[in-house]
Structure 1
Amino acid sequence: MPALNLRIAALLLACAPLHALAFAPSDADKRFQAIYEKEWTWRQEQTGQADEDTDTSGDNTRLPDVGAPAQQARLKVWEQVLKDLDGIDPAQLSAENRINLAIYRPQVENLAAEVRLRAYEMPFNSDSSFWSNLSFMARRQMKTADDYRAYASRLRDVPRHFDQHIANMRAGLARGFTVPRAVLDGRDVSIAAVAELKDPEQSAFYAPYRKMPARIPAAEQEALRKEARAAIREHVVPAFGTLLTFFRTEYVPKARTTLAAEAMPGGKDFYAQQIREYTTLDLSAEQIHRIGLEEVARIRAEMQEVIEQTGFKGTFAEFLTFLRTDPQFYAKTPQQLLDRAAWISKRVDGEVGKFIGTLPRGRFTIVEVPADIAPFWTAGRGGLGTYWLNTYDLPSRPLYNLPALTLHESSPGHSLQAALAQEQGEQPAFRRDNYISAYGEGWALYTEKLGKEMGIYETPYEDFGRLTYEMWRAARLVIDTGVHHKGWSRDQALAYLRDHTALSEHEVTTEVDRYISWPGQALSYKLGEIAIVRLRAEAERELGPKFDIKAFHDAVLKQGSVTLPVLESQIRAFIAASKAGPAKAAAAAP
């Protein structure tokens, strides 16, 4: 952690609880606000786009410029922002802005580091890609003819956008900075699905035109549909065809044969930065590996206790085989899986208010993962307004895992947290609209454990599913650092996840390939959850009978998305205020 960040952290621990006092903005506050508001507005103009979690594309008529010159130009802006921040004394900021600075500075540091390390030369992994994320633009609500025209303009810009990505990937190939060859087989399916499209109206990109707002006159609707069909046929499909040819004839044959991030040019710095970005902590790969091994051993003992509750008499390995093969644990149709997830989420609705004081107004829906990306996606994913559930290959989607998955991805996990973050109107946009993985994934994993207190797990098998999901995240700490730092093979990583969890073979494979191709991201879940569990235990110990579970969860969730050091400082401020009495606790609420 940079020295200035340590200084900010020290000030956070010493500062008065948030909102405990009213401050007139100082000159430092005004300068800081001007810096982040200007940079944030510029950032949205530069990088606004759609993905599975958000859509910041707005009314842009072009997709982001991802070419190397534009990337380097952004780096200069972020480096200047960091210099400007150096000129602000955190001690002169209000309590609110000390928190904001402690969140904003690492955000900009990470953006600058990504460009400095030329991470844009590897713009996809086995789980997510720029070409698949592009289709999520089609889910944006369009209300006017101008919205549709801007969308069609973005579709016509796909060839330029893809050509820039291809140029960046060629530069990555030239220096050995690529996704490993071992995880690339079959990843061209989602490209081919569009490249080989014959009818534009069958494209996911055409979805917004199937039901258009009645306020748009019928004749204009037809003109807009004609524009979309031409954009898809003449621009989108050929661009995907070019990308498919490049992927098959250049990228896959020339991709590196190593697995470890540290084996790439500049790989040690790259992996260290990935750890810093995704965990928000100053931990080494060795430290994280040891934490993972300790967590794996602890959870394994809890698993054995649950197995005994089921009455199963075989070995641990035999129990895993039983769970993976017995038909009672699997849905027979996609709709059955969706229905069960909906039932679980409604049961959560009846309990969540007993554990969280402030609930969001925003709601979420449950949607099947699109067929073109489902084979390589995780079991589910949640975000603002949507819980994506993967119904591909039903024998790999056990029902005993579904309660934990639903808690994590929808409520009280990602969908609830994202909605609350959006509704924190007093917070700056860089907090409301940004996602810090260690906090967001840590909270979502914590809610899986909270589901036990809520009574969501109805059988020992579902409770074992909860533990297998926790073990899955603990094993990630071991596997990610094992592959990228210790030189583990793919088979070694597969065996470790297979032997320690009840995940299906399909999930074991897709998950390990995800960790291989996306260094560091998998570390955020368990480290974030460990922090929240530790802080709750501290609050319970310090407050005794004064501990209020709803108030504690409100204190965690009202932060928006924050780094783990900031979360720790804020929860300790909450504990101190709660000791002083309800009035001061309310005043300390962020």
Structure 2
Amino acid sequence: MKKTLAIISFCLFTIVACKEKTTLTTATVDSNETFETMLKDYYEDGLKLNPVSATMSGDNRYNEQYPNPLSQDHIDAMKNYYNSYKEKIASYDSSNLTDSQKMSLDILKWECDINLEHLSYKNHQYFPIDQMWTANLTFGQLASGAGAQPFNTVDDYKNWQLRVDGYLQWLAMAENNMREGVKTGYVLPASLIKKIIPQLNEMTVTDVKKHLFYSPVYTIPESFSNEEKETITIEYTNMIADKVIPTYESIHDFMENEYLEAGRKSSGIDAIPNGEAYYNHQIKLYTTTNMTADEIHNLGLKEVARILSEMEQVKNQIGFEGDIKAFFNDVRSNPKLMPFKTPEEVIANFNAIHETMKPQLEKLFDAKPKTPFEVRRTEAFRENSASAEYNPGSLDGTRPGIFYTPIPDATKYNVYSDESLFLHEAIPGHHYQISLTQESKTLSDFRKTLWYSGYGEGWALYSESLGKELGLYTDPYQYFGMLGAEMHRAIRLVVDTGMHAKGWSREKAIQYSLENEAEPEAGIISEIERYMANPGQALSYKIGQLKIQELRAKAKAEMGDKFDIRQFHNQVLETGCVPLALLEEKINSWITATK
């Protein structure tokens, strides 16, 4: 009897337990599906607020739109967007989510908090234009007809006209905001203003057929009827003559006269209202850490000293007689390192670097992107102030990833750092990291277009250290170029914090760079002014690189024979861009699971 009761009790318990398990499993599945829907909504709502991002990703649903990010309506909409999703995030129990979803939840929390913090400052309103980073430069790329904006159909040409109308409203408000900024203490350094003026002047050429915005007319598809071609030509001519040129003339004249006269002499962001707090925010934004300016400055000094020691060894290997500063000057001016006559030769050299490393990539990577890749010369209108850069391909892979390199004068183009530059900007740097993220079948859409500079630039700088493993750096000058590129990022830790937190002048930062790296003076000046325009961004490279190197060394030490460099790279790359703390948690979990 007791045995029978025990069996009955066990059966009843089993039935109840099964029911509870089924209920919990169903609840978990429902929660997971609801969570994924919320992530998709976040991504879709974000595209509506920033339709140019949609275009850049190859999503053409909003190609005619350009909402004004300076308008109060748009700022309020952005704040409401992030606040509403913060509330939605709080309703989810992370214990019911998968590991990937838990990371998405943590990332979304970070996204909402850091963006709301950013919107609490006035800098984005009063500094809408600089020489390096701002929407006018991106829009110029779209206007060229060779960027992400499509010009394949008649509707494409109409969409662009509508987008131009919205952009010109932004440009007019940018002028008004900068005028207001002068009154309230938010004004750019005069040295930066001087670099913006020629960029704006490029857009005031009165010969419409030579204007950048006329470029799409030259590439009207042959399939268009003669009437369509004529209509587009007339409409674009009128658009440029009646709208584009007058708006640019207005802001150019304001910038050249009133704004330049008001330009501040100080270099650091701490000179503007609430500047110290803003810089602390920028450090957090770009490094995704809680490091202080002092900690970063001291780390930079240590890294500069370490890399200088390695540079001395390469100098001695080459057989150069003289001190390191003399060697820097020799590298800057050595005719053997400036062998090219035409921009095409520069591009061909980068393609040759790619061919050299192709056979070795298998040893370090078993995941490679399908998105095509190209090397192109930077467009003329922004070439003099631009650095080499990578523009991602479209999400569907139909538009290639593009490595842009400025070549203002091919005869003065120095090749000594080309191998490390290609590893950073192209393969396996930004092209692998961004394309693999975009091609992922497991990541939520919103994570495919995220950008965290600490991770993204950290990976690219880490990629430079892979050169010997990829069959490069056989020429000591190219290895010196890698050290020079790393030194360049170490110097950034010193000069960025120096200018924005320690009262350094632009001139002191330039001099410090000249004494510790072999970059040409013109390039160093451009770089220092870049840091002035976007405080904190330059810190992300070295902070991210050091973290990835630290995690690789830890994994190798703890996993021993089980360590596989390809699997380590998969672990780093498969998450897409994430704050560094989340990357560290993931790698630590992988190490533990593998052990």
- TM normalised by structure 1 equals 0.89
Secondary structure in 2 aligned to 1:157?
helix
Provide the residue aligned with 2:210 in structure 1: 202
Q: 1:337 aligns with which of 342, 346, 351?
A: 346
Secondary structure in 1 aligned to 2:375?
strand
For residues 500 and 112 of structure 2, the distance between their equivalents in structure 1, rounded to whole angstroms, comes to 25
Counterpart of 2:326, as a letter, is: E
Provide the residue aligned with 2:330 in structure 1: 322
Shift of 1:60: 3.1
Provide the residue aligned with 2:474 in structure 1: 458
Counterpart of 1:60, as a letter, is: N
Q: Does 1:187 align with 2:203?
A: no
Secondary structure in 1 aligned to 2:428?
coil
Shift of 1:389: 0.9
Provide the residue aligned with 1:72 in structure 2: 76
Shift of 1:49: 1.8
Shift of 1:32: 4.0
1:410-449 equivalences in 2 (<5 Å):
410-449=426-465
Provide the residue aligned with 1:131 in structure 2: 136
For residues 509 and 321 of structure 2, the distance between their equivalents in structure 1, rounded to whole angstroms, comes to 28
Shift of 1:225: 3.1
Give the alignment's Cα RMSD to 1 decimal. 2.2
Per-residue CA deviations over 1:420-445 (Å, capped at 9, x if unaligned) read 11101321122101211111111111
For residues 44 and 80 of structure 1, the distance between their equivalents in structure 2, rounded to whole angstroms, comes to 16
Per-residue CA deviations over 1:234-268 (Å, capped at 9, x if unaligned) read 22222211211221233222233322212211112
Secondary structure in 1 aligned to 2:404?
strand
Shift of 1:382: 4.8
Secondary structure in 1 aligned to 2:499?
helix
Provide the residue aligned with 1:361 in structure 2: 370
Secondary structure in 2 aligned to 1:312?
coil
Q: Does 1:479 align with 2:495?
A: yes
1:53-132 equivalences in 2 (<5 Å):
58-66=61-69, 67-121=71-125, 122-132=127-137
Provide the residue aligned with 1:17 in structure 2: none
Provide the residue aligned with 1:155 in structure 2: 164
Counterpart of 1:192, as a letter, is: N
Provide the residue aligned with 2:506 in structure 1: 490
Provide the residue aligned with 1:18 in structure 2: none
Counterpart of 1:387, as a letter, is: F
Provide the residue aligned with 2:529 in structure 1: 513
Secondary structure in 1 aligned to 2:465?
helix
Counterpart of 2:346, as a letter, is: L
Shift of 1:114: 2.0
For residues 53 and 42 of structure 1, the distance between their equivalents in structure 2, rounded to whole angstroms, comes to 16
For residues 185 and 274 of structure 1, the distance between their equivalents in structure 2, rounded to whole angstroms, comes to 24
Secondary structure in 2 aligned to 1:388?
strand
Per-residue CA deviations over 1:260-294 (Å, capped at 9, x if unaligned) read 21221111221111111101111111111111111
After superposition, the Cα gap between the structure-2 partners of 1:361 and 1:23, relative to the gap in structure 1 and judged at 3 Å, is farther
1:205-216 equivalences in 2 (<5 Å):
205-216=213-224
Shift of 1:220: 2.2
Counterpart of 1:362, as a letter, is: T
Shift of 1:172: 2.6
Q: Does 1:47 align with 2:50?
A: yes
For residues 230 and 437 of structure 2, the distance between their equivalents in structure 1, rounded to whole angstroms, comes to 39
Shift of 1:310: 0.5
Provide the residue aligned with 2:418 in structure 1: 402
For residues 488 and 60 of structure 1, the distance between their equivalents in structure 2, rounded to whole angstroms, comes to 43
Provide the residue aligned with 2:398 in structure 1: none
Q: Does the CA contact (< 8 Å) of 1:400 and 1:461 recur in 2?
A: yes
Provide the residue aligned with 2:585 in structure 1: 569
Q: Which runs of 5+ in 1 are unaligned?
A: 1-21, 580-590
Which range moves more in the overlay, 511-520 or 389-398?
Answer: 389-398
Q: Does the CA contact (< 8 Å) of 2:130 and 2:196 recur in 1?
A: no
For residues 147 and 113 of structure 1, the distance between their equivalents in structure 2, rounded to whole angstroms, comes to 36
For residues 111 and 280 of structure 1, the distance between their equivalents in structure 2, rounded to whole angstroms, comes to 13
For residues 531 and 52 of structure 1, the distance between their equivalents in structure 2, rounded to whole angstroms, comes to 33
Q: Does the CA contact (< 8 Å) of 1:127 and 1:514 recur in 2?
A: yes
Q: Does the CA contact (< 8 Å) of 1:383 and 1:418 recur in 2?
A: yes
> Which of structures 1 and 2 has the bigger CA Rg?
2
1:182-331 equivalences in 2 (<5 Å):
182-199=191-208, 201-330=209-338, 331=340
Which range moves more in the overlay, 190-199 or 120-129?
Answer: 120-129
Counterpart of 2:115, as a letter, is: L
Provide the residue aligned with 2:396 in structure 1: none
Q: 1:549 aligns with which of 565, 569, 574?
A: 565
Secondary structure in 2 aligned to 1:376?
coil
Which range moves more in the overlay, 416-425 or 204-213?
Answer: 204-213
Counterpart of 1:144, as a letter, is: T
The percentage of counterpart residues that share the same residue type is: 30
Higher relative contact order (CA 8 A, sep 6+): 1
Q: Does the CA contact (< 8 Å) of 2:363 and 2:566 recur in 1?
A: yes
Provide the residue aligned with 1:13 in structure 2: none
Shift of 1:414: 1.0
Which range moves more in the overlay, 543-552 or 57-66?
Answer: 57-66
After superposition, the Cα gap between the structure-2 partners of 1:58 and 1:311, relative to the gap in structure 1 and judged at 3 Å, is farther
Secondary structure in 1 aligned to 2:494?
helix
For residues 93 and 180 of structure 2, the distance between their equivalents in structure 1, rounded to whole angstroms, comes to 40
Provide the residue aligned with 2:6 in structure 1: none
For residues 488 and 477 of structure 1, the distance between their equivalents in structure 2, rounded to whole angstroms, comes to 13
Shift of 1:226: 2.7
Q: Does 1:377 align with 2:386?
A: yes
For residues 451 and 560 of structure 2, the distance between their equivalents in structure 1, rounded to whole angstroms, comes to 33
For residues 561 and 332 of structure 1, the distance between their equivalents in structure 2, rounded to whole angstroms, comes to 39
After superposition, the Cα gap between the structure-2 partners of 1:109 and 1:447, relative to the gap in structure 1 and judged at 3 Å, is same
Provide the residue aligned with 1:19 in structure 2: none
Q: Which runs of 5+ in 2 are unaligned?
A: 1-24, 394-400
For residues 471 and 566 of structure 1, the distance between their equivalents in structure 2, rounded to whole angstroms, comes to 27
Provide the residue aligned with 1:582 in structure 2: none
For residues 127 and 54 of structure 1, the distance between their equivalents in structure 2, rounded to whole angstroms, comes to 21
Secondary structure in 1 aligned to 2:196?
coil
Q: Does 1:351 align with 2:351?
A: no
Which range moves more in the overlay, 519-528 or 306-315?
Answer: 306-315
Secondary structure in 1 aligned to 2:195?
coil
For residues 177 and 259 of structure 1, the distance between their equivalents in structure 2, rounded to whole angstroms, comes to 13
Q: 1:534 aligns with which of 532, 550, 571?
A: 550
Shift of 1:341: 1.3
Counterpart of 2:43, as a letter, is: W
Per-residue CA deviations over 1:499-554 (Å, capped at 9, x if unaligned) read 11111111110001111121000011000100111111111111112211111111
Q: Does the CA contact (< 8 Å) of 1:279 and 1:523 recur in 2?
A: yes
Q: Does the CA contact (< 8 Å) of 2:31 and 2:96 recur in 1?
A: yes
After superposition, the Cα gap between the structure-2 partners of 1:533 and 1:265, relative to the gap in structure 1 and judged at 3 Å, is same
